[in-house]
Structure formats: C-alpha cells, structure tokens
C-alpha cells in the first residue's frame, strides 16, 4: 500500500517551536498531529533557527517514519536578517525531511502569520510574540515589512518589549529614582533573582529575548490587577503594535488587517489600546479577528507548495 501524502509545517519562534503534520487530501486542520520543539536563540555565532528547524523536522520523521512528505512549509523568526544562505538552508531541510527539494518552502514568520490570520487574502497582519513584525502583502506584487528588527532597538509592543520596559521601570524603583514600580520590582526579583544579578543572568544568555518575554504575562496580570506602572506599559504596548500594523497597510492593498500572536492573549488594556489606536490611525480600514494561527499559516504554505501554487520566490520573505 502506498502511504498517503502529507504536508509538514513548522513554526519557529523565540519562546518555542511546533511542527504539524496533516494529510494532503484531508480538510484543513483535520487529523493534524503536532510536535513541540525548542526556542530559537541568537548569539555571536548567529541564529539557531536552522538547527531548531532541522531538529524538529528530524523528530517528526522519527515520530512518523512511514509518512510520505509531499511538501514542507517553514515559518521562522529572524530569517530575513540572521540566515546568511537561505538556499543552503532549503537544501538542508529538504534532506532532513526526505521531501523533494522543490517542495520545501522557507518563509519569514510574518508571512506564515499573515497566511494564518487572513487565509491568503491580501491585507496586513501584525504578529506579536517574543518579537513584533507586520507584513502587508498580496502574495504577489506588494510586500511591505514593518518592524521585526530585534529586541535591542525594535519589536515594539512585543513580549520582549513589555519585559524590557517592566525591567527598566523596576530598576528605576530599585535605584530610588521613582517609587512607581514596586510591584514590578518584586515580581521581577521573584522571577530573575535580585536586581543586581540581572546583567549577569540575562545579558549573557543567547535566548535572553525569549526569557525576558516570558515575564510579559506577569506584567499583564499586574496591570489587570490595577498596578499603574504595569497598566501604562500594557497600554503603550498595544498602541505601538497598532502603529506598526497601520504602517504595513500599503496603498496597493485593500484596507484589511488582522493580528496574531500570544501577547494578544493578555487581552484587557493591551487589546483595548490596540483596537482604539488602530481605529484612530486608520478609520477607513477593517480590522478582523484572525482566522488561524501562524502554525495554520505554515500548513497553508506547505499546501500551496504541494499544489504548485507558488511559482516564484520573494526574498527576503519567501524562498523555495
């Protein structure tokens, strides 16, 4: 019996990664099998994104050895700026997957987020997890990226941005400059240890972005409980993300937008500020709830590759 063809999708981020396997001829999302993987780190030697992808694909092949892979779709953080040779990366991942090289597709995480949220329709999507990036595209002629430059100077409104802003406020209170962030200081010291140890504990870690982003849910919880400093951070974060999304609404696109990413799970003041600021900045645009997740978008990407619907690469967003 010839095994049924499947597609394999991989979603890689700073706080974790996942692989999804689906039959090619099944309804989207049905009979899906999922594996969890590690998070992407960035150090002096570069990003570990390809190592994490290869490891997760190898784990999927080991878990489901008898499955025929028709296509692989990979959405990865930091791909546009931290992977030197995407073509070599494609060959490596195809070899690990045992899939035809021509049917392996590598995309920035903003593209798989876009496919998941809008289901392939043109418009703009902002993805907010560890980092934050927006993409406005019609998957053809228009490709507009906003944000995603990394936590040292960008990722406005993201998990790592919220964590950094909270630590900055906590340090000011620790140093006696203000008294406003006492609750944030206590929470940060519970998570990361005494404040004087933070530079040694955090700055030296290759996965510091993901680690610091892990503090964002506690900041959101403090804000929801009425802490003024945490509330201000969450409101500002929501406004920053809205501005990033509006900037991705290229004039060549329909005025349609959506969002995705774990930080939106904070809800409350973050989501309220995001929606209000988006409406203020783009009153003529339609903001729709996401149809699916970035992992759904990676599955969508793999299905497009399997069906021959992707006719050309679009570096630095899509390689095949």
DSSP string, 129-183: SSSEEEEEE-SSS-EEEEE-S-TTT--TTSHHHHHHHHHHHHHHHHTTS-STTHH
* CATH classification of the domain holding 65: 3.30.420.40
What is the Cα–Cα distance from 35 to 24, expressed in whole angstroms? 18
Q: Are residues 164 and 283 in the same domain?
A: yes
Residues of the domain holding 59: 5-119+292-319
**pLDDT given for residue 83 in this prediction:** 65
pTM of the complete model? 0.88
- Banded model confidence at residue 28, pLDDT cuts 50, 70, 90: low
92-110 pLDDT, tens digit per residue, is 888 888 766 668 888 988 9
242-265 pLDDT, tens digit per residue, is 999 999 999 999 999 999 999 999
Q: Please check whether residue 138 lies inside any domain of the structure.
A: no
Beta carbons of 110 and 127 less than 8 angstroms apart: yes
Q: Are residues 270 and 307 in the same domain?
A: no
Query: CB count, 10 Å around CB of 143?
Result: 18
Q: Are residues 281 and 306 in the same domain?
A: no
Beta carbons of 113 and 127 less than 8 angstroms apart: yes
Q: Are residues 206 and 274 in the same domain?
A: yes
**pLDDT for 162 beyond 90:** yes
**pLDDT for 197 beyond 50:** yes
Which is nearest to 262 in space by CA: 229, 295, 225?
Answer: 295
Q: What is the mean pLDDT of residues 159-175?
A: 98
Q: Which helix (H) or strand (E) holds 124?
A: strand 123-128
289-315 pLDDT, tens digit per residue, is 999 999 999 999 999 988 877 767 788
Q: Are residues 184 and 277 in the same domain?
A: yes
Beta bridge partner(s), residue 128: 132
**pLDDT for 2 beyond 60:** no
Beta carbons of 158 and 263 less than 8 angstroms apart: yes
Which is nearest to 144 in space by CA: 253, 266, 297?
Answer: 253
């Amino acid at each position: 019996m010839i095994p049924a063809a499947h597609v394999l999708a991989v979603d890689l981020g700073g706080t974790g990664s996942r692989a999804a396997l689906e039959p090619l001829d099944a309804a989207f999302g049905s009979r899906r099998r999922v594996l969890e993987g590690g998070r992407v780190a960035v150090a002096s030697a570069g990003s570990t994104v390809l190592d994490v992808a290869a490891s997760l694909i190898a784990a999927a092949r080991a878990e489901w050895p008898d499955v025929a892979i028709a296509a692989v779709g990979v959405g990865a953080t930091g791909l546009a700026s931290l992977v030197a040779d995407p073509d070599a990366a494609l060959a490596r991942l195809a070899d690990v997957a045992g899939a035809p090289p021509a049917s392996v597709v590598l995309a920035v995480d903003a593209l798989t987020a876009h496919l998941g949220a809008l289901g392939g329709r043109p418009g703009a999507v902002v993805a907010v997890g560890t980092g934050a990036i927006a993409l406005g595209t019609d998957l053809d002629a228009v490709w507009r990226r906003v944000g995603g430059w990394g936590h040292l100077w960008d990722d406005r409104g993201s998990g790592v941005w919220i964590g950094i802003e909270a630590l900055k406020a906590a340090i000011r209170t620790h140093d006696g400059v203000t008294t406003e962030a006492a609750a944030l200081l206590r929470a940060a010291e519970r998570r990361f240890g005494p404040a004087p140890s933070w530079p040694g504990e955090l700055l030296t870690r290759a996965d510091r972005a993901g680690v610091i982003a892990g503090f964002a849910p506690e900041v959101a919880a403090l804000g929801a409980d009425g802490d003024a400093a945490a509330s201000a951070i969450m409101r500002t974060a929501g406004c920053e993300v809205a501005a990033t999304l509006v900037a991705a609404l290229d004039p060549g696109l329909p005025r349609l937008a959506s969002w995705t990413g774990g930080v939106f799970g904070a809800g409350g003041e973050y989501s309220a500020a995001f929606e209000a600021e988006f409406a203020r900045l783009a009153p003529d645009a339609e903001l729709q709830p996401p149809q699916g997740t970035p992992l759904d978008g990676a599955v969508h990407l793999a299905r497009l590759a399997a069906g021959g619907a992707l006719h050309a690469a679009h570096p630095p967003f899509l390689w095949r």
